[in-house]
Amino acid sequence: MNPRRKKRLAIVGSILIGIGVVSGLVLYALSQNIDLFFTPSEITQGKKETGLMPSLGQRIRIGGLVVPGSVKRDPESLKVSFRLSDMTMPIVFKDSDPMITVYYEGILPDLFREGQGIVANGTLTEHPPTGLSIEASEVLAKHDENYMPAELAEAAGQKHDKATYSEKQLESKKTNSY
């Protein structure tokens, strides 16, 4: 390689390394702002590295798995509440895990079910019986990266039924919103 090319290679190489280091540091410093949501344990105990905790009344997103058996739906309206726990591998639900209750009124996404990942957007409040909870204005489903044909899924004990709504429940939405 002749000296001119060597020099250009050195310049381009050092610019690339410089940009890499700078953006690495920026992303590291901003990492908590890049996170889309708080996990239930981060709401109760704060973020792992900085101890940052959301305060009551703050608008936040929470992400977690719907605890089986915790979904309560009002038969008269679209009101629903469920508890979320941390997404950990392998998936096990223990009563001692930090959990946050989510209250929501509206149609749930098709992929909503017990054990499914959920991201909810709402205000952090303190409800006397359930403790820390989120009054959500939006509930999104966060599915995992596993795809399976129905027969295989059934064999593995996985099943998905989407939530159904009665006339009465849907009627309540109309009267509320108009």
Q: Which residues bind another protein (CB under 8 A)?
A: 5, 8-9, 12, 15-16, 19-20, 23, 27, 31, 34-37, 39, 63, 109-111, 113, 119, 138-154, 158-160
On the CB side of 60, CA atoms within 13 Å amount to: 25
Please identify, using beta-carbon distances, which residue of 54 and 63 lies nearer to another protein.
Answer: 63
Which SS3 state, helix, strand or coil, does residue 117 take?
Answer: strand
Tell me how far apart the alpha carbons of residues 116 and 169 are, in angstroms, rounded to a whole number. Answer: 23
Please identify, using beta-carbon distances, which residue of 117 and 130 lies nearer to another protein.
Answer: 117
Tell me how far apart the alpha carbons of residues 41 and 25 are, in angstroms, rounded to a whole number. Answer: 26
How near is the Cβ of 44 to another protein at its closest, in Å?
Answer: 16
Tell me how far apart the alpha carbons of residues 60 and 134 are, in angstroms, rounded to a whole number. Answer: 8
Please identify, using beta-carbon distances, which residue of 95 and 145 lies nearer to another protein.
Answer: 145
Please identify, using beta-carbon distances, which residue of 42 and 97 lies nearer to another protein.
Answer: 42
How near is the Cβ of 96 to another protein at its closest, in Å?
Answer: 22
φ/ψ region of 90 (left if φ > 0, alpha if ψ in -120 to 50, else beta) reads beta
How near is the Cβ of 176 to another protein at its closest, in Å?
Answer: 19
Contact 40, 65 (CB under 8 A): no
How near is the Cβ of 29 to another protein at its closest, in Å?
Answer: 13
